[in-house]
Structure 1
Amino acid sequence: MNSWVNQVFCEDALEGLARIPDASIDLILTDPPYNLGKDYGNGSDQQSVQDYLAWTEQWIDKALPKLKPNGSLYIFLTWRFAPEIFVMLKQRMTMMNEIIWDRRVPSMGGSVRSFSSVHDTIGFFVNRKDYYFDLDAVRIPYDAETKKARSRSIFVGAKWLEVGYNPKDLWSVSRLHREHPERADHPTQKPLEIIERMIKASCPPGGVVLDPFMGSGTTAVAARRLGRHYAGFELNPAYCEIIEARLAAPEVPVASKKRKAEAKSAAVRTLDVPEPTLIADKAQTKAA
């Protein structure tokens, strides 16, 4: 196994991406700073518009060569900058979807001078026509009532009726509230449900997912749960500790119907390695 696989490097992705060989990644899945002024322990989310867009183009140009020819990219964005960034990506890739993530924000508060923003925008891009996409892995089962209504002979044995329907481009999944068992100490953590859907659809089993902005490490956790490999970067040392703790915590099987109410906190091991700090998948490290 390559030394960069199943590792999260605690360093700037603009420098660290040189570690990743070109054409080695099946899927780039990332949630970069939105430039909305949030505090991530650095100034990455507090740039001028011009600097933010220039920085975005810079990391895109460093990351895209890492994709395999049939690879794909998912990117979380805010509506404020999605148009400009989508144009950047359209000049380099083919856009397949604009996915709207409805965060299920309660109907209270918000602006009194505009409509309340309750969604994130996700761009789905591919390199070429033969990109990997496993629709059956993410189909949504029909309920019993729908199947009963389609009981006529022309529907008997229909694959789509048995395995379910194609998810639409509006994903209604609740944001992670403070009491949610998945929640880590990160202001913009994304739900595993969304990340796992992307990985199952667009990364083959045993493939590699790259996340240049790991944040709380959800991409790495999801990839490992689904039998994929991962690689990534995170600039904030405090978030690197969160990632390490989540990867060290007891794993909850994907198929389990009941999730533990509380994840046991895992001790964060201080790594005595040269900078940048390296976060490895401990399960794999023990097996090696």
Structure 2
Amino acid sequence: MSWRDRVFCEDALEGLARIPDGEIDLLIADPPYGLGKDYGNDSDKLDNDAYLAWTEQWIDAALPKLKPNGSLYIFLTWRYSPEIFVMLKRRMTMLNEIVWDRRVPSMGGSTRKYSSVHDTIGFFARAKDYYFDLDAIRIPYDAQTKKARSRSIFVGAKWLEMGYNPKDVWSVSRLHREHKERADHPTQKPLEIVERMIKASCPAGGVVLDPFMGSGTTAVAARRCGRQFVGFELNPAYCALIEQRVADLDPISTQTSDEQVTG
């Protein structure tokens, strides 16, 4: 039975053995943050040392699945990103620390420290020739900016016509309860973020691995972008949610590989 385009309802540490080494183009990991969240099990209730030991265990199991030019994005909290970045820098090349500004409104918060309103995302690659398609994720300039660059030296400039490189601070609203994307999961990530990762770092028709599928955003984003996916999820209720989200995709909204390449 093929492992592609499937989400297995099992522990990633056991399930990763299903995937041959060197077959994955992109690994997107959104592991439990070690903050005690309720995912219907005890997966996020480890103490500091146990959490870091578990993280190193799954990293060592997952990285061999990447192709030589494959890459990794990992969602983290600031509490553990320094230690986990060091783990990964011993195994890969770090390309970016991306700050996801969740656009949290200014309501309450701690009175003894600054309110935390961001997640940290690490972007890593296995080799210097890692796949990266900037043109697929360029952000268009507005008409006013284009008009201001009207001198002859700017005429026909690719960067002006196609847009600019996204910076390393991504301001994308978290999925609040009334958001149309929102599913029944406490830490669901927005499609906008995951689709940017996939378009930039996975070639058309490639395979994306997500060891902690959660609500299934990676599977949905991969299908919408014309890629294949594989992943694992412990909670049977979330596995059913993922299956339903993928099944509900409108074929018209799913991009073909050619459409994806042009962004």
Q: The TM-score by the shorter chain falls in which range?
A: over 0.9
Map of 2:206 onto structure 1? 207
How far 1:108 moved relative to its partner? 1.0
How far 1:229 moved relative to its partner? 0.1
Map of 2:158 onto structure 1? 159
3-state SS of the aligned residue for 2:150? Answer: coil
Map of 1:231 onto structure 2? 230
How far 1:250 moved relative to its partner? 3.7
Contact 1:225–1:253 (Cα < 8 Å) also in 2? no
How far 1:30 moved relative to its partner? 1.4
The reply to whether residue 17 of structure 1 matches residue 16 of structure 2 is yes
Map of 1:133 onto structure 2? 132
One-letter identity of the residue aligned with 1:69: P
TM-score, normalised to structure 1, is 0.87
Map of 1:197 onto structure 2? 196
The reply to whether residue 75 of structure 1 matches residue 79 of structure 2 is no
After superposition, where does 1:271-282 map in structure 2 within 5 Å? Answer: none
Alignment partners' CA distance in 2, 1:88 and 1:166: 28
Contact 2:226–2:254 (Cα < 8 Å) also in 1? no
Map of 1:4 onto structure 2? 3
1:50-87 superposed Cα distances (whole Å, 9 cap, x missing partner): 00000000000000000000000000000000000000
Contact 1:199–1:223 (Cα < 8 Å) also in 2? yes
Cα RMSD of the aligned pairs, angstroms, is 1.2
Alignment partners' CA distance in 1, 2:4 and 2:36: 32
Contact 2:9–2:234 (Cα < 8 Å) also in 1? yes
1:115-172 superposed Cα distances (whole Å, 9 cap, x missing partner): 0000000000000000000000000000000000000000001000000000000000
How far 1:210 moved relative to its partner? 0.1
The reply to whether residue 110 of structure 1 matches residue 124 of structure 2 is no
1:234-268 superposed Cα distances (whole Å, 9 cap, x missing partner): 00111001101101114275589xxxxxxxxxxxx
* CA 1:191–1:162: 2 relative to 1, 3 Å: same
TM-score, normalised to structure 2, is 0.95
3-state SS of the aligned residue for 1:181? Answer: coil
After superposition, where does 1:45-64 map in structure 2 within 5 Å? Answer: 45-64=44-63
Alignment partners' CA distance in 1, 2:161 and 2:113: 44
Map of 1:280 onto structure 2? none
Runs of 4+ with deviation above 4 angstroms: 252-256
Give unmatched runs, 5+ long, in structure 1: 257-288
Map of 1:185 onto structure 2? 184
3-state SS of the aligned residue for 2:100? Answer: strand
Alignment partners' CA distance in 1, 2:93 and 2:249: 39
Map of 1:174 onto structure 2? 173
One-letter identity of the residue aligned with 1:165: Y
Equivalent residue pairs, number: 255
One-letter identity of the residue aligned with 2:136: A
Give unmatched runs, 5+ long, in structure 2: 256-263
Contact 1:207–1:229 (Cα < 8 Å) also in 2? yes
3-state SS of the aligned residue for 1:199? Answer: helix
Contact 1:226–1:254 (Cα < 8 Å) also in 2? no
3-state SS of the aligned residue for 1:182? Answer: coil
How far 1:198 moved relative to its partner? 0.2
Map of 1:275 onto structure 2? none
Alignment partners' CA distance in 2, 1:56 and 1:255: 33
